[in-house]
Structure 1
Amino acid sequence: MNDADNTPVSASQPLEERVNNRSQRPTSDAFKAFMASNWAPSPQQTPERDAVAGHAADRRRAISELFKGERLVLPAGPLKVRSNDCDYRFRPHSAFAHLTGLGLDHEPDAVLVLEPAGEGKGDDGGHHHATLYFRPLAGRDTEQFYADSRSGEFWIGTRPTLAEFKARLGLATADLSELELAITKNVGAPEIGGISVRLVRKVDENIDALVDTARYNTAKDPENLDLGVFDGLDEKLTEALSELRLLKDEWEVGQLKLAVAATVEGFTDVVKALPRALTHQRGERVVEGVFFARAREEGNELGYDTIAASGNNATVLHWTRNTGKVTAGELLLLDAGVEAESLYTADITRTLPANGTFSAIQRKVYEAVLDAADAGFAAAQPGAKFRDIHSAASAVLAERLAEWGLLPVSVEEAISPDGQQHRRWMPHGTSHHLGLDVHDCAQAKRELYLDGVLTPGMVFTIEPGLYFKNEDLGIPEEYRGIGVRIEDDVLMTPAGPVNLSAALPRKAGDVESWMAGIYQEAEGQQP
């Protein structure tokens, strides 16, 4: 990787600046003049309006209804350091992405501000005017163009201009240098003519500090002000933004379908690579790498760290080290999802026999989990409660565990609130909402999530599992080291649930046939 080439500083410079000691960028006026000359002008074009723009405007309008007369501040977040002076790829905060429609990596430090207007006098008949504040690209005649390794075009490529974002998003834009005044002006108690500010916190420390300072400076009694009194204001905004995502619009569903389709291709790629994984010391890494390649080719990134777990590792719920072998005769649990460029992610799990064929005991456990998943689908009907999916799936698993003599109590006692013994082998929930975050809408109120009513437009997973660890001495040896999860992405419609990931086989026999077909196709393509 190329070094960021910044000006050397003196031997007495602060420790945090010493990363620059390796650099040798010229500082002469002659160099600066030469670097600023003979560049072609940046292309000028008026881009088309993004397909998401109208949907994002509707979302801003919905939030505007909830917070009339208040200033709302939604940061995208800054770049995050991975190591020393190297940053992670940028991903904006999901609330910012939802209300702007912006994905990818081109708006670090940006902030969306919804400024209160008179009732009904804001954007689209709402009560706020929205403005996107971000750092526009420096001109090619500026020093920043070639000297700023984080934002200079010479280093990171072009970025949209204020005018381009305005045209694409149908959203007012402004230079980031104007943000401080936009956030802090007129802040104060409404009873004395001030404006209340609500902020999505813990996204950008600088914005948190800016808002807190404004609140402190305009308080009636700043010396005795406890900034914690504002926590409820900010939490309510975060909660509302999360609940807004419980129902997906048509554009969002389309993006989720794209993410699912790419994920299905990624699973196919993995099956093609299994023969190589079986011969590699870290076969799980082979699986992980193959899927990651598909995610980068077809989408923005992984939606979350891939779980590629073989054998006993499949009983570790969040196994993301992926350092183990893939061994013939064992099961491979692959939990993975492609994140589309819009930042909507899939989340699919399949459990595959590494050699292409389930053993008798593996098939028995697999089919029990599949029966539980099917029970979850049957329970997932419009008007039912979200928690009903988990109850239906858990009841099936408890019944199978009892049939196998593994439960120490009756099924009725196990599934009662005072029992739950079956959860030793199924410790997680059966469903979660899915969208911009793999665990979407996580800040929603309980009564709208677990106790919420299943409504057309919701997208969620159904993912029961059974996990029998090698070290579990409470079960017969034949079960040990078997971990099975089957997870699908589900769209609720007026007619019932639609399995968005149905292209990946679920039945044990279909999984075996699918894998065999891929192997045969691969062999036929060999010279």
Structure 2
Amino acid sequence: MNDAETTQNSASQPLEERVNNRSQRPSSDAFKAFMASNWAPTPEHSPEREAVAGYAATRRHAISGQFKGERLVIPAGPLKVRSNDTDYRFRPHSAFAHLTGLGVDHEPDAVLIMEPVEEGKGDDGGHHHATLYFRPLAGRDTEQFYADSRSGEFWIGPRPTLAEFKARLGIATAHIDELETAITKNVGAPEIGGVSVRLVRKVDENIDALVDTARYNTAKDPDTLDLGVLDALDDKLAEALSELRLIKDEWEIAQMKIAVAATVEGFTEVVKSLPRALTHHRGERVVEGAFFARAREEGNELGYDTIAASGNNATVLHWTRNTGKINAGELLLLDAGVEAESLYTADITRTLPVNGVFSDIQRKVYEAVLEAADAGFAAARPGTKFRDIHTAATTVLAQRLAEWGLLPVSVEEAISPEGQQHRRWMPHGTSHHLGLDVHDCAQAKRELYLDGVLTPGMVFTIEPGLYFKNEDLGIPEEYRGIGVRIEDDVLMTADGPVNLSAALPRGSADVEAWMAGIYQDVEAQSATTD
């Protein structure tokens, strides 16, 4: 073949196919026939109904009651490219996971559609019939089996069948090839016999485009179509789905406990790793890796990027680079959470003395933060407002800052809306809801979140901190480079708050004793091995 023929053949190959050139897969008919032959049949089994199925059905029933007569479209989302032909590990959108009960990586491109039916004639006496649309296992006699690196069993392993998902989740299922019709049929204004559609947007661009096109094509006058009104319809669905997660059911609470328990184990592994971290030029990465290994062993993934911040890095609120060295005598602020297979995540922070013992000034700052956290717990009672936790915790911090001579004004002036000078060293909120998202329920209305009433079944964090940067010339030198945060995961019950992460020590002396015990165990194991 001459150079001209090579250039012509290259130019004629579609660009999207070129990313697969590395596989060098044959395309002959003989190869295709051979690949389709002599495979054992896919084993058939009758899966049991999953424990989450009934809870997910209850959640769908609640949403159905808010959107009678409207089609609801909730995508899982597609795979996302990380680099050329490699994808990020898939995680479905939280609203999809909440309404289906599906976690991990089964269902890229899947969509849950809740189709309106006659009132009271839907699933479980609701007003909708739910169907899960997804791409099931391709038969081993198909080219997809070995040719599709994103969905072929040869590449990624088996996928559940339509019947398996239906049996496991109690949801009707359909092939994804039927999805376009299911989304677009009869779309239009209700007054002319059409169906109004609400969509969880910005999850799957293809689904966004499909819904927008259907709305445009069925509008009485496309030129006057008010996209702002339609976006508001979709925003209302996102808001309702977020608010639905404010109160966790029994199954969700159990998942939160699983995530927290795995996270506690991860913190133990971090303490074990500290001797090696002290000798490594990227000690923070050693810490990050130790926790990540536990997250992958015990759960699905990290719930969020780990903050492993030593020394002055601990004063950077979202320090996730974790490129720093860890030095003896510093504090290590570790903010980390394991995401369970169900996708529910913990979110815990402890601040640890790297050498196992707090210095006097470190202990002073630490105990002030602990006192603030305890004040937050004391304020958290059923019937009080969510924002009261923050007020109680930051008031304590303002009082200590004043005692130390760091506040330029009185405590009363600092905590007033017109003041807030204490927030220089505690700039974030003290609490956030926790669940499928590390910052769960974020689209909920303000009156149900910040101004909401604490109610049994809510799960949230309490996490005050103080951050004294090396660059802060407004404080004495002895404080500089100290960052402390203590964060616990809290379940509200009828009797008050329950600290789900209480297995991790909080008091300074308890932290020191805990770390010493771990070091002794490591030394004993090392001696036995030697």
Q: TM-score, normalising length from structure 1?
A: 0.98
Query: Matches of 1:376 and 1:225 in 2, distance apart?
Result: 49
Number of the residue aligned with 2:210: 210
Shift of 1:227: 2.3
Contact 2:380 2:496 in 1 (8 A): yes
Number of the residue aligned with 2:500: 500
For residue 245 of structure 2, what is the amino acid of its counterpart?
Answer: R
2:371 matched to 1:342? no
Contact 2:20 2:85 in 1 (8 A): no
Number of the residue aligned with 2:378: 378
Number of the residue aligned with 1:432: 432
For residue 284 of structure 1, what is the amino acid of its counterpart?
Answer: E
Query: Matches of 1:229 and 1:210 in 2, distance apart?
Result: 17
Shift of 1:361: 0.1
Deviation larger for 63-72 or 227-236: 227-236
Number of the residue aligned with 2:3: none
Query: Matches of 1:32 and 1:386 in 2, distance apart?
Result: 62
Number of the residue aligned with 1:255: 255
Relative distance call for 1:487 and 1:226 in structure 2 (3 A) is same
Number of the residue aligned with 1:477: 477
Number of the residue aligned with 2:311: 311
2:51 matched to 1:51? yes
Shift of 1:19: 1.9
Relative distance call for 1:299 and 1:517 in structure 2 (3 A) is same
2:270 matched to 1:270? yes
Shift of 1:9: 6.7
Number of the residue aligned with 1:4: none
Query: Matches of 1:261 and 1:448 in 2, distance apart?
Result: 29
Number of the residue aligned with 2:191: 191
User: What does the per-residue CA deviation read over 1:244-298, in whole Å, with 9 as the maximum and x for residues that have no partner?
Assistant: 0000000000000000000000000000110000111000000000000000000
Query: Matches of 1:226 and 1:240 in 2, distance apart?
Result: 22
User: What does the per-residue CA deviation read over 1:461-490, in whole Å, with 9 as the maximum and x for residues that have no partner?
Assistant: 000000000000000000000000000000
The secondary structure found in structure 2 opposite 1:60 is helix
Contact 2:76 2:111 in 1 (8 A): yes
Relative distance call for 1:16 and 1:177 in structure 2 (3 A) is closer
Q: RMSD across aligned C-alpha pairs, in angstroms?
A: 1.0
The secondary structure found in structure 2 opposite 1:11 is helix
Unmatched 5+ residue regions in structure 1? 1-7
Shift of 1:15: 4.1
The secondary structure found in structure 2 opposite 1:333 is strand
Query: Matches of 2:24 and 2:449 in 1, distance apart?
Result: 56
Number of the residue aligned with 2:415: 415
Query: Matches of 1:522 and 1:144 in 2, distance apart?
Result: 50
The secondary structure found in structure 1 opposite 2:19 is helix
Query: Matches of 1:147 and 1:353 in 2, distance apart?
Result: 53
2:475 matched to 1:461? no
Shift of 1:23: 3.7
Number of the residue aligned with 2:27: 27
Shift of 1:223: 2.6
Number of the residue aligned with 2:5: none
Contact 2:77 2:108 in 1 (8 A): yes
User: What does the per-residue CA deviation read over 1:416-473, in whole Å, with 9 as the maximum and x for residues that have no partner?
Assistant: 0000000000000000000000000000000000000000000000000000000000
Contact 1:9 1:21 in 2 (8 A): no
Shift of 1:17: 3.9
- The aligned runs of 1:161-240 (5 Å cut-off) are 161-240=161-240
Query: Matches of 2:295 and 2:23 in 1, distance apart?
Result: 35
Shift of 1:16: 4.4
The secondary structure found in structure 1 opposite 2:471 is coil
Query: Matches of 2:167 and 2:184 in 1, distance apart?
Result: 27
**Percent same amino acid among aligned pairs?**
87
Number of the residue aligned with 2:366: 366
Shift of 1:24: 1.6
The secondary structure found in structure 2 opposite 1:472 is coil
For residue 518 of structure 1, what is the amino acid of its counterpart?
Answer: I
Count of residue pairs the alignment pairs up: 520
Contact 1:216 1:227 in 2 (8 A): no
The secondary structure found in structure 1 opposite 2:11 is coil
Shift of 1:222: 1.1
Shift of 1:11: 2.8
Contact 1:76 1:92 in 2 (8 A): yes
The secondary structure found in structure 2 opposite 1:490 is strand
For residue 369 of structure 1, what is the amino acid of its counterpart?
Answer: V
For residue 382 of structure 1, what is the amino acid of its counterpart?
Answer: P
For residue 308 of structure 2, what is the amino acid of its counterpart?
Answer: A
Query: Matches of 1:30 and 1:17 in 2, distance apart?
Result: 21
Number of the residue aligned with 2:4: none
Deviation larger for 218-227 or 164-173: 218-227
Following TM superposition, the consecutive aligned residue runs of length 4 or more in structure 1 with deviations greater than 6 angstroms are none
Query: Matches of 2:494 and 2:251 in 1, distance apart?
Result: 18
Number of the residue aligned with 2:88: 88
Query: Matches of 1:284 and 1:330 in 2, distance apart?
Result: 12
Contact 2:75 2:96 in 1 (8 A): yes
Number of the residue aligned with 2:117: 117
Shift of 1:22: 3.4
The secondary structure found in structure 2 opposite 1:474 is coil
For residue 254 of structure 1, what is the amino acid of its counterpart?
Answer: A
Unmatched 5+ residue regions in structure 2? 1-7
For residue 96 of structure 1, what is the amino acid of its counterpart?
Answer: F
The secondary structure found in structure 2 opposite 1:113 is strand
